[in-house]
Copies of this chain bind each other. A is one copy, B any other.
């Protein structure tokens, strides 16, 4: 008896001391270190290419041009290089394509001797408006420092100077803010050491592909290439880091284009190694000065769920079971959130989750009610996670999923589907949105003809909340394809992504509302990223579903 008491006491002690340790880190330090080491081993070598500007250009206010500004070619760069920069202050150089890298310029005296420093301003733009619209006074929501204008003091001639920060741009405006009246000088050269980790060339499209689709594909590839650096960045201008949502779409596009799967592997390991102590994932991580997560950022529920889908897709594409098995505990852990905010009907209580600090993203769209979309994402992720488990022979470890999938699907159908409208609604306001319908179709809550009916009703529903950005358009197109509305899918790719092409895009934009070109989630449209990972997925559609995108 005393022996038993002693044992119980020992056990209690063990629990007391081991529980905080378990609570401190869901994965072991050793495991994390090993994951980060694998991430490091898979860091790609950047391919560096020297690129020179191809022309000078005039940025002209033009009400029918994208955002009201047009770039009109205006001679060769040599015109700038050989004459006084003082007299050409404000000149814009055009590199002819979107580039990401390090900008170097050279100055030489033209007349007399340099007797004073020179103050120059370089403004870099992905799109023409960025080198035309004044940045100050700045009232946007994100750091003013994202905007790519750099002021440089040159103290010695001749000079060759590299701006320290990495830049992403096609256009650069050069302004002289200060110079001596006693000498003259020229900007004699400039170039970019452009970087990407893409080293492969995707297979050519079928010759029957329309010109527009070929362009949409090419610009999607450029977008992806620019975002593929030492991680899948969201945008090389802004935020320049690895977000799960972008990783998910980039890795899908990569599977059907560059096939550089080791970058996906690196990113999956990086996110795992830097997960929260409770095992749930941070929505984004940084690489430098050493890999670290955005500690302090809110938990982004939908992104954590999409990690599992990216891991499953990676396994299917590569058959790399070692990685999938190694990271399985991370995927499994993400499922532990599913039932936290379900009501008796298996419907997600989004309002409460948001109130408790969860970030429900879904789309850049302030008006969007997220409940129904999250319901769909949860079911979709559970199904994909179950597939992953099956591929690894680990179904038993997630044996709660089939029941949850069933309950949540029924709940969605019974609680969120408005039979009269033939549409899913979301939240207390019973909002109808593209996001809700798309995600619940992707989740398979409705299928085939039933799903088609939903989509057709949606297109007729005047007040439906539309997608706010290419990220949500992706899932809408996927849902259209999944339910067989392939012509509608094609039409969206041609009109939405094709719309950007027609408006002069070199890479696809983070935010694009055809009816409001100055829309910005950040209060200032030059802050938007105009080369954004999540917008590259035209590549994925065109290459995964070639039959849909052939000429009729």
Contacts and interface: CB of A to CB of B under 8 A. Distances in A.
A30 interface: no
A249 B154 CA distance: 30
A429 to B, nearest CB: 28
A105 interface: no
A166 B155 CA distance: 9
Interface in A155-170: 155-156, 158, 164-166
**How many copies of this chain does the complex contain?**
2
Contact of A181 (B119, B141, B239): B141
Nearest to A292: B113
Contacts of A147: 178
A238 B239 CA distance: 40
Interface in A71-119: 111-113, 115-119
Interface in A139-194: 141-147, 150-151, 153-156, 158, 164-166, 177-183
Contacts of A141: 181
Interface stretch (A41-49, A206-214, A294-302, A468-476): A294-302
A328 interface: no
A145 B179 contact: yes
A534 interface: no
**A143, A158, A182, A288: residue with the most chain B Cβ atoms closer than 10 Å:** A143
A138 interface: yes
A248 interface: no
A348 interface: no
Contacts of A182: 296-297
A145 B165 contact: no
A41 B156 CA distance: 23
A286 interface: yes
Given A145-B178, A182-B296, 4 more contacts: A112-B297, A118-B145, A138-B178, A143-B178
21 contacts: A112-B294, A112-B295, A112-B296, A112-B297, A113-B294, A113-B295, A113-B296, A115-B241, A115-B297, A117-B143, A117-B145, A119-B143, A143-B179, A145-B179, A147-B178, A150-B153, A153-B164, A155-B166, A156-B288, A156-B289, A182-B297
